[in-house]
Every structure is written in C-alpha cells, then in structure tokens.
Amino acid sequence: MPRMMPSTPDDNSPSAELSSEYVAFKARLDASDMWEGMNATERLPVILETFAPAEWFGEDALPTLACYRERPPGRWGQIKATFKGLGGNPFDLEKAVDTLIDLATAEQLQSSILPEHRPCLTTLDSVTTESIEWLWWPYLALGKLAILDGDPGVGKSLLTLTLAACLSQGWALPDQQGKLTLPIGHSGTTLLLSAEDGLADTIKPRLEAAGADCQRIVALTGWQSADPESTQELPFTLQHMVLLASVLRSIQPRLVIIDPIQAYLGGRIDINRANETRPLLAALAHLATLHHCAILLIRHPAKGGQGHAITRGLGSIDFMGAARSGLFVEQQPGRPDAALLCQTKNNLGPLGRTQRFTRGQEGFTWAGVSRITAETLAGGDRGPEPDVFLETFFWLEQRLEGGMAWSAKDMLAEAELVGYSKKMLYKAKKALVVISRQTQDGWTWRLPSLSPTTPVSGVYDVTGVTGISGESDVIRDAAVPIEGQQPATPDIPKTPDIPDTPLVYTREPELLRPNVRRVPETTGTRDDARNDGICPSCHHAAWVIFAVTGSVCLDCGHCQRPEGGSSTP
C-alpha cells in the first residue's frame, strides 16, 4: 500500500475542513493496516473506492480481483466498468488477471503432480493383442463408441429401436449384400436413454411392432435421492457418470443408445467446445471398453445440411473424433417412405455399404443396399442440381437392379419419359460405374456385381469365443471367384434348352429365370468360341457363364475387354 503523506489542513483553524485528498489517504492507510486480516469480499469495496488505476495491478489488489473473474455472474463486468470510470483500460486489467490465474494454475498443477503422483507407463510388449468383436459388422463394434447423425423425423430412433429389437431376440442383421445373414450372436440387453420419445406412446409400440423381447430393453429415465422418503425423480445427465457406470454393472447391456446426446450433456457443457465435450466422451469410451458394450450416440445435424458427410453433425468435430464409427441417416430422394444408412467413418475396418430401409404403415423393413457413397449423398459430389441428380441416380440403380444387361437406347428413352435428362442420366451412370458393352444389337448397360465383402477370420466374434474358423456365415455369391481360388459352379436347377437363343453373359447365378439355360464351364481355342463361353479377345475361359435371352454381351473375367474392342459410349 502507498505510504506517502499528503499535506494536511491546519486543525487549529476554525474554518479548516479535511480535504478530500486527506480523507482518501486516511481510508487507504486504515485499509493497509487491516489488509492482512480481511477476506476478498471485504477487500473488494476498498479497492473499488480508494485505489488509483495503477494500484489495481499491484500485489495488494490483483489477487483479490482474480477471485471475481468468473463468478458470481455479472460481478466482473461491474469491476471493469468501475475501472474504466477511473480512467483505466479494462482490457489491460483483464489480461493481467488472466495471466495471474494461468500462473497460479500452473503452479498448483505442478505442486499437485510432484511428488505425490507418478505417471502410468506401459511397454507394448506386455500388451496382449485382442480381436475386434462386432455387434453389427462393420457399423457397430462392442467396446467402442459410435455416432449416428440425421435430421429429425428421418428414422434414426426407429432404426435404433429395430437394432434393439433384433438384439433382444438374437436375430440376424443385414450383410454387405443387403441380406439378413449376419448373426448378431446371443440375445442381449439394450440400455435406452431417450429424451424425445415417450416410453408408453412411442417407444414400446415401436418395439412391439418390431417383435422385441421388451424384458431385454431397459430405459434409464432419471434418478432419485438416497433419502427413502424422497419420491422426486431428477433428470439424468452425463454429469452423473458414476450413476451410469453402476447401471452398466447391474444390467450388463450389449448396446447403449443415447438419443440425443445433446440432451444429456448438462447445462454447463458447451457442445461446440472440444475441451468441454472430450472428457465426457472419453468417460463414455472407457465405460464401453470396461463393460464390453457398443454405445451409440444420436445427434441432430448442424444448420445448413451440406458439405462433407463427416462434419454434418451438431457440435464440435471432437464428437466424430472420439467415435470409432460414424453413421448418418438420410431420406432417399423421391421416396418419402425410404431412408438410407451411410457410414462416414470407420477406424476399425473398411467403410460399410449404404443400407436401405423403409418405414410406413407396415413398420420397419430392411430393403437391401445401395451403391451410393456417403459423400455423394451428403452433397460433396452432387453438383449444382443435387436433388435431380440423386433422383436420377436411384432411378437408374433400381432400373438396372439384378445385374442383367439392358439396351442403352432403351435406358435413354425410358429416362426421358420419366423426366430425366440425358446429361443427368450419364452423370448418374458414371457415379454408379455402370459397365457398357457393345454388342451386335448396340450398346448395353449393366451394374457391376457387388463384391462379397465379409468379416475376415478371427475378427468377427458372435459366439463369445474369439475368432471364427473356416468360412464366414455370410452367404457368398458362388459364381464370383475368391482371390486365390478357382471359381465354383453353383448348384442351379436345370431348365429346358432354348434353341438358337441370343446370349447375354453374366456371373450372377440369381439372375436365372425360367427362360434361361446354363452354358457349362469350358476351355478351348477361338475356333471353339461359339456359345461355349470362350472370350474372342484372349481365348480364355476359366469362369462360369450363363446364357440369358436378350442381346449378346460378353464379359470376360480375364482381359475385361468388350467384344470387338470398341470404346464405351
């Protein structure tokens, strides 16, 4: 505290009065004498009323001012206003206070770590390698966080409740061909946290419609005080992480659904600040690992709805950074009853194909897979007319469904009839990687086969025993050769021969119809190449070929060149 004595008036003069300077000094002197015994609440009025602006930066005032930097609300603003009224710069004061707080925090952290605490170190040679176990390959892994984004009303909650129903009954889920062949393993419990849908009027009716065993669906709706006389139920948030951990220990779920995540963050967490959301996400990830369950977080998308698929969700990008799998649901253009489930991120394996599902009066129905990518659907590759492009894309994909070759001329005519331009049709054709072949009757288009993508041995565990030996349970297309193996001939019922039938060659066994005859696997030279499956370009035949009524289209699996060597239109 300053000790300089100002000039004092002559007390013997009857007309003398104490000057304002002397009054101020007297107050400051008294404050200095009592300073050590005062707390911050008692010191603050003295600083505001008696200290000069320069003295606010001294060791007597600055620590006291730092006590009011963040609380109570509004007090710091009043302090800055007072300082500005005295002629000081409030920004300089705030910077000095923040610097003091940072130094004090660093000093406190250092003193708390050493020597009472010690670091935890692990040498990697002591770590036992573990396989990833999947609840639904490659979308949901056990022991990991996943996140699901989507607009309100598009079907996110319906999808998650369907997953819970399948888990409760142990039913299979769609594979990468869209077939219900992926076993989910033994039936399990789902823990549901839902802040938007009612249990009685929405959630349970949907579960019953999906055929769920509702005894295996548990909803966490809140918490009560330990006082036995208290009946008030308080809302649950992730600030009560210890309570969530106790629930997981109690019911041991295989799937946890938090819908939506922003409703459970708590009032003090800013969803857009990674330093505030990351501790909660890290705690959730730890619980998922500890209790070996998949935790699925539901989010609404950010405003705008365009851009990269991985950044479409509301809040900090750290949500997607913490999740090991990123998913989003989008309504299929032109189909108000259909939606698409896309995967935008997978840290544990390849990205999964886009799954289709429908929702309507008959409930939820899986509807196969689509070749559209997450980026294309989200808007990154759609161009200036995204809605028209997507409608054309799905129209062409559905029109060519089945793998048969169709006349390009007919495709252009049909597209024009339903209102799709030639330019947009060719753009959709390119996005679908449609195979063009020139035949004696003109150009044909067909979709490429979906490669049989399956979980590799030792990674997909559905029985509780690490690894699966032998072939996967996923049904393979027997006519598609597996790398390192000779293709096998599928067991297909024979049909009556159709004489003088023009040929379309394809590897898809499921495309056989009553008017189809099979051409046996053969080898030979060009002289033998009639209807026996010999490629006229490379004279190679080491695959199964089928003859279908229609125009001629030869697809050689060896050289991949169209008959005649003509260019694609």
* pLDDT at residue 546, as a whole number: 35
* pLDDT at residue 368, as a whole number: 93
Q: pLDDT tens-digit profile of 262-293?
A: 999 988 888 988 888 999 999 999 999 999 99
Beta bridge partners of 330: 340
User: Cα(first)–Cα(last) distance of the chain, in Å?
Assistant: 90
* pLDDT at residue 19, as a whole number: 52
This model's pTM is above 0.85: no
Residue 549 identity (one-letter amino acid):
T
Give the 3-state secondary structure of residue 409.
Answer: helix
* pLDDT at residue 257, as a whole number: 98
* pLDDT at residue 97, as a whole number: 87
Q: pLDDT tens-digit profile of 125-171?
A: 999 999 999 999 999 999 999 999 999 999 999 999 999 999 999 99
Whether residue 333 contacts residue 387, with contact meaning beta carbons closer than 8 Å, is answered with yes
Give the 3-state secondary structure of residue 78.
Answer: helix
Exposure string over 509-541, b if 16+ CB within 10 A, otherwise e: beebeeebbbeebeeeeeeebeeebbbebebeb
CA distance 525 to 545: 16
Identify the residue whose tokens are 């997953």: 163
Whether residue 77 contacts residue 94, with contact meaning beta carbons closer than 8 Å, is answered with no
CA distance 188 to 505: 46
> What dihedral angle (degrees, nearest 10) is formed by the CA atoms of 23, 28, 33, 35?
140
* pLDDT at residue 33, as a whole number: 57
* pLDDT at residue 225, as a whole number: 79
In the predicted model, residues of the chain with pLDDT beneath 70 are 1-37, 106-117, 304-307, 380-384, 452-569
Region at 501 (left for phi over 0; alpha for psi -120 to 50; beta for the rest): beta
CA distance 481 to 562: 20
3-state secondary structure 495-555: CCCCCCCCCEEECCHHHCCCCCEEECCCCCCHHHCCCCCCCCCCCCCCCCEEECCCCCECC
Encoded tokens for 522 = 């053969």
442-446 and 406-407 beta bridge pairing:
antiparallel
DSSP result, 438-506: EETTEEEEEPPPPP---PPTTT---SSSS---SS-SSPP-TTSPPTTSPPPPP--------TT---BEE
* pLDDT at residue 27, as a whole number: 55
